[in-house]
Amino acid sequence: MHDELKHIVGEAGILTEAQVADYTFDGYVPKAVVLPASVQEIQDVLRFASKKALSVIPTGAGTKLGIGNLPQKVDIVLATTRLNSVVEYEPADLTVTVEAGIRLATLQAELAQHRQFLPLDPPYSDRCTIGGIVSANTSGSLRLRHGTARNQVLGLRVVHANGSVVKSGGKVVKNVAGYDLNKLYIGAFGTLGIVTEVTLKLSPIPPREAILTAGFENVQDTVKTGLNIVGSQYLPMFVNLLINFEVGGAMDAKKPTLVVGFGGDPETVAWQLERCQEMMEQNGAKGVTIIEGEPRRHLHAAVREFAAGAERVIAKLNLKRTDVAEFAAQIVAEGPDRGAQVMALLGSGVLYLAVPVTPDTDFQTFAKHLTELRQSATQVCGNLIVENAPPELKQHIDVWGSFGDADALMNQVKVRFDPCGLLNPGRFVSSI
């Protein structure tokens, strides 16, 4: 197999046995890791895999390989990191087209030369690729102001399992009417095709950015104040609740903390900070602090990387905004001895739970607690996804949970796009 793959991607396009270990996930070591340098090579690899009935696991830099259920089999990991160029950049149009393997940090540095940026701040932002962000639909706290990856993508080029290349969307903000196929591929975790090129909307870098932090006596007051800010005319970039989280003395980890980000012209930001501080203090906030400059960048980076890191279980709850306070308070009450940390994106109803994994962790009991929490979320029309977990925990829980009637529909879509189950088999929702 290695010789045949080497013939397709060349010596530089296939990793040695020692290097393959870097792409181990969930205890599975790939039989081969290939790094195609062109769309044609991706097509040829997929056709070869189809002919040999081998599974293909698409990835970028590998930061999200751990997301998903235990795989049915791991034959070939296909990394897009050699497809890493800027194809077309139009600063005047605030759009850019890039290959999927370009790193977010590299792209942001390029855009910053024109005082522009891609308004996504997912975890692993120094290493993750645009293709990985799109395939996993990761976004971060800035989704309150700018939306998720789904809102930033204008067009895609995708290679299907049979080697065919398809395009969706376009390179302008106002595309022609028709089915929005972009949304089908975004967040599909590479189960429908391999993203090779992405066209994105951009935003100007705000002239001034600042973060306002404040501690509260209880979770309910913190969330209430945060939701009032979300619904106000102050237009924050993000409004986050943090519990049991400390960053270099910037906040008191013992108290629920509200972290609110602003960005815009200096006069507007000054007005936003003043009015927001007044609202916080009227609601009982203590130690309201304005953070700017390098400390702001450090704090924003720490918040951005909350859902990253090894040796932790990361669960993501999608809730109605009005249910966040109840679930956050419940988690804090039940899990202080486990070192549980919480971050909630109050404007989006997203709550992240992070719990350290130790040699003494009882994974069966842990899975039971997560299942009960998922059932509680389901009862209020929410859901729970386990984004990061060791394989020992995945043996006891479906990381995605059931999505009811949608499971059957997704299976039908998968069969249409990948009838042989070539791409990422068994790892996505309903084990597709």
Q: How confident is the model at residue 306 (pLDDT cuts 50, 70, 90)?
A: very high
Question: Tokens 């450090």 correspond to what residue?
Answer: 298
Would you say domain 1-205+404-432 falls under CATH 3.40.50.300?
no
Predicted TM-score (pTM) of this structure: 0.94
Which helix H or strand E contains 291, and what residues bound it?
A: strand 286-291
Q: Which residues pair with 213 in a beta bridge?
A: 259, 289
Q: What is the pLDDT of residue 252?
A: 66
Report the distance separating Cα 87 and Cα 101, nearest Å: 12
Report the distance separating Cα 37 and Cα 271, nearest Å: 50
**Pairing mode, if any, of strands 208-215 and 32-34?**
unpaired
Q: How far is CA 336 from CA 245, 307, 368, in A?
A: 12, 19, 17
Report the distance separating Cα 48 and Cα 52, nearest Å: 6
Q: Which two tokens stand for residue 234?
A: 């102050």
Q: What is the pLDDT of residue 177?
A: 58
Would you say domain 208-304 falls under CATH 3.30.70.3450?
yes
Q: Do domains 1-205+404-432 and 312-394 have the same CATH topology?
A: no
Q: Mark 84-118 as b/e (b = at least 16 C-beta within 10 Å).
A: beeeebeeeeebbbbbbbbbbebbbeebeeeebbb
Q: What percent of the chain has pLDDT over 90?
A: 84
- Say which CATH topology domain 312-394 has: Alpha-Beta Plaits (3.30.70)
User: pLDDT tens across 274-299, in order?
Assistant: 999 999 999 999 999 999 999 999 99
Question: Tokens 């013992």 correspond to what residue?
Answer: 254
Residue 412's contacts (CB-CB under 8 Å, 6 or more residues apart) are none
User: pLDDT tens across 205-228, in order?
Assistant: 999 999 999 999 999 999 999 999
Q: How confident is the model at residue 402 (pLDDT cuts 50, 70, 90)?
A: confident
Q: Is the pLDDT of residue 176 over 60?
A: no
DSSP symbol at 28: B
Q: Which residues pair with 59 in a beta bridge?
A: 79
Q: Is the pLDDT of residue 178 over 80?
A: no
Q: Which two tokens stand for residue 54?
A: 């081998």
Q: Is the pLDDT of residue 403 over 90?
A: no
Task: Kindly list the domain boundaries of the chain, sorted by start residue.
Answer: 1-205+404-432, 208-304, 312-394
Q: Which residues pair with 155 in a beta bridge?
A: 169, 199
Mean pLDDT score across all residues of the chain: 93
Q: What is the pLDDT of residue 338?
A: 67
Q: Is the pLDDT of residue 198 over 60?
A: yes
User: pLDDT tens across 52-78, in order?
Assistant: 999 999 999 999 998 999 998 999 999
Q: Is the pLDDT of residue 391 over 70?
A: yes
